[in-house]
Homo-oligomer: A and B are copies of this chain.
Amino acid sequence: MAKLKKQPRPKAETPKGFRDYFGAEVTQRAAMLQAIAEVYHRYGFDALESSAVETVEALGKFLPDVDRPNEGVFAWQEDSEGDKPGDWLALRYDLTAPLARVYAQHRNDLPTPYRRYAMGPVWRNEKPGPGRFRQFYQCDADTVGAPSVAADAEICAMLSDTLEAVGIPRGDYVVRVNNRKVLNGVMEVAGVLDPKNPDNFSAERGIVLRAIDKLDRLGLDGVRALLGEGRKDDSGDFTKGAGLSQAQADVVMGFMQAKRATGAETVARLRELVSGSAVGGAGVDELETIADLLAAGGYGPDRVEIDPSVVRGLGYYTGPVFEAELTFEIFDEKGRKRQFGSVAGGGRYDDLVKRFTGQEVPATGVSIGVDRLLAALSAKGRIDKDQAGPVIVTVMDKARMADYQAMVAELRGAGIRAEVYLGNPKNFGNQLKYADRRASPIAIIEGGDEQAAGIVQIKDLVLGARIAQNATLEEWKERPSQFEVPRGEMVAKVREMLAGQAE
């Protein structure tokens, strides 16, 4: 037999744009999702978990003129069955498209309105970049089948409660609300939307929507240029503008700058701007109603406010639009102060299930960027990056493993995170190095002498590390970092020391 050619070893690597999460990174996210789910549940939302895989047809990303589904999703074709070609399947790219499919599929069994929350990973087949991954978490809540803006107000209140529940105090965030209908009214007044001939000026409106959606990046001057003749960017590329006159552009610019000192003044200013437009007036009414409903529930402008400069998503949503922004400053990787910015967004979209059923179903919802929210709490020092390591029972005599297992069973029985050292016990230094790497708070030592005397040594590794780091801390030096206690008092002493370390 010919010798098999040696296969090269496979590379131990995550695929490009994916990463692994370890320890506290996993448990902190789980705890945050749990805290969010509790608020959502209290608001009457029910959990939904759809599968990661959907048909490309249901996701709506299939381009009939190409072999492969659209860019942006991870997709593959099932094996054919006989003559029938296999379905194209894909990983979900968000949690809204699956909600549309679920609602259309199960609508006869679901209550109306249907309040649901969903949390889990989504996948994007995009070029990864620094801090941008192809798998990330979303955490959504949506109300399907409720046309009333009371549903939008509820989502805003819930978002406010959620941020406080995960540890963002009042004052450090604000939920800002705007309305697409007001923008439509503004465009009507500016003369680029004619309710009688809705197809007219659609090219201009497209440019206006894209322009204001870029307010964050381009600033007011950049948007203004795009509303008029056009804009040359830093690389010299020219983007053609909407061709609005000065007066027309003023109306649109006025919309984005309509925020006043109080909600009532902002509403009054918006009414002025959309004067004469029915849809614009309806949009302002909706904003006013939302503010009233929220105020009645205790969600005043210190928590939720009307802000016409919220422009992100106005092109996508059909009514109210909301965004949660963290208002505190952090230091970026270059040490510069900056606002933390947006951590959640949402709004009303009324064509959720129309693709499937032909029926228009109103829906409104929010999506929280869990990873950004974790990063914010971490930047503010509001969550520990490290988790408590286990108490380590060291192995002084391999033959006495049963005694050490009994010790660790006692500790665990008392609810204390603990383990026996399971590596090669020959070198005691290695055991302490392992304890260090695990961030162990305490090591327990019971050799032959201790056993004979009925005692154990308990070493405070937190204090030990502090003393080693800072030899000038005289008062610490005098504090003992190792205790000798009778074997029967081990659990009580460990508990006492852990409580002391937590102070």
Question: Residues of A at under 8 Å CB distance from B?
Answer: 9-16, 18-27, 30, 34, 37, 41-44, 46-55, 57-58, 60, 74-76, 87, 89, 91, 100-102, 104-106, 111-113, 115, 121, 123, 134-135, 143, 145-146, 148, 150-151, 153-154, 157, 161, 289, 292-299, 353, 355-358, 387, 390, 401-403, 405-406, 408-409, 412-413, 415-420, 422-423, 434, 437-438
CA distance A469 to B10 in the complex (A): 65
Contacts of A357 in B (CB 8 A): 9, 12
Roughly how many angstroms separate A52 CA and B49 CA in the complex, as a whole number? Answer: 16
Contact B57 A11 (CB under 8 A): yes
> How far, in Å, is A70 (CB) from chain B's closest CB?
13
Given A12-B58, A105-B13, A150 contacting B297 (CB threshold 8 A):
no
In the A-B complex, the 6 residue pairs with the closest CB atoms: A44-B419, A12-B104, A297-B409, A26-B47, A76-B76, A296-B402
Residue in B closest to A105 when the chains form the complex, CB atoms: B12
* Residues of the B chain whose Cβ atoms lie less than 8 Å from the Cβ of A11: 55, 57-58, 356
- Sample 28 A-B pairs with CB under 8 A, ordered by A number: A9-B356, A10-B356, A11-B356, A12-B101, A12-B353, A12-B357, A14-B54, A15-B51, A16-B87, A21-B49, A23-B48, A24-B47, A27-B47, A41-B417, A43-B418, A44-B438, A74-B76, A76-B76, A112-B423, A143-B422, A153-B405, A154-B420, A157-B405, A289-B401, A292-B402, A296-B406, A297-B405, A297-B408
Residues of B within 8 A of A25 (CB): 47, 49
- Inter-chain contact B406/A297, CB cutoff 8 Å: yes
Report A126 CB to chain B, min CB distance, Å.
12
Assembled-state Cα–Cα distance A9/B295 (Å): 43
What residue of chain B has the Cβ atom nearest to residue A392's Cβ?
A: B44
Closest to A54 in B: B15
Nearest CB of chain B from residue A431's CB, rounded to whole Å: 11
Among residues of B, the one whose C-beta sits closest to the C-beta of A29 is B49
- Chain B contacts for A16, CB-based, 8 A: 87
Q: Are A20 and B58 in contact (CB under 8 A)?
A: no
Q: List the B residue with the shortest CB-CB distance to A62.
A: B10
- B296–A403 touching, CB < 8 Å: yes
Q: Among B50, B100, B112, point to the contact of A20 (Cβ < 8 A).
A: B50
Contacts A21-B47, A150-B422, A154-B405 aside, 12 further interface pairs with beta carbons under 8 A come to A9-B355, A11-B58, A12-B100, A12-B104, A21-B50, A34-B34, A43-B417, A43-B418, A44-B417, A44-B418, A111-B434, A297-B408
Instruction: Given the known inter-chain contacts A44-B419, A47-B23, A48-B22, please indicate yes or no for A434 contacting B57, CB distance below 8 A.
Output: no
Identify A55's interface contact among B15, B75, B294, B420, CB under 8 A.
Answer: B15
Contact across chains for B422 and A146 when beta carbons are under 8 A apart: yes
Contact between A154 and B355, CB atoms less than 8 A apart = no
Q: Distance (Å) between the CB of A163 and the closest chain B CB?
A: 15
Select from chain B the residue with minimum beta-carbon distance to A33: B30
- In the complex, which of the residues B104, B409, B417 contacts A298, with contact meaning CB atoms closer than 8 Å? B409
Closest B-chain residue to A88, C-beta based?
B15
Query: How long is the Cα–Cα vector from A25 to B46 in the complex, in angstroms?
Result: 10
B135 x A53 contact (CB < 8 A): yes
What's the minimum C-beta distance from A94 to chain B, rounded to whole angstroms? 15
Query: Distance in Å from the Cβ of A231 to the closest Cβ of chain B?
Result: 31
Which residues from chain B contact A413 at a C-beta distance below 8 Å? 298
A48-B20 contact in complex given A11-B57, A154-B420, A292-B402, C-beta closer than 8 Å: yes
Q: How far is the CA of A417 from the CA of B115 in the complex (A)?
A: 13
Q: Which residues of B contact A52 (CB under 8 A)?
A: 52, 91, 121, 123, 135
**A48 with B74: CB separation less than 8 A:** no
Instruction: Tell me the bound Cα distance from A51 to B26 in angstroms.
Output: 12
Contact (Cβ within 8 A) B50 A14 = yes
Chain B residue numbers with a CB within 8 Å of A53 are 15, 18, 74, 91, 123, 134-135
Q: Which residue of B lies closest to A27 (CB)?
A: B47
* A24 contacts across to B, CB distance below 8 A: 47
Complex Cα spacing A177 to B160, Å: 52
> Which residues of the partner chain B approach A293 to less than 8 Å between Cβ atoms?
401-402, 405
User: In the complex, which residues of chain B have a beta carbon less than 8 angstroms from the beta carbon of A121?
Assistant: 51-52
Least CB distance from A79 to B in Å reads 9
A390 contacts across to B, CB distance below 8 A: 43-44
Q: Is the CB of A51 within 8 A of B135?
A: yes
- Please name all residues of chain B whose beta carbon is closer than 8 Å to the beta carbon of A157 when the two chains form the complex: 405, 409
Q: Which of B18, B55, B151, B405 contacts A150 (CB 8 A)?
A: B405
Complexed CA–CA distance, A469 and B165 (Å): 40
Give the residues in chain B near A89, CB-CB below 8 Å.
Answer: 15, 74
Name the one of B100, B135, B148 contacting A422, with C-beta atoms under 8 angstroms. Answer: B148
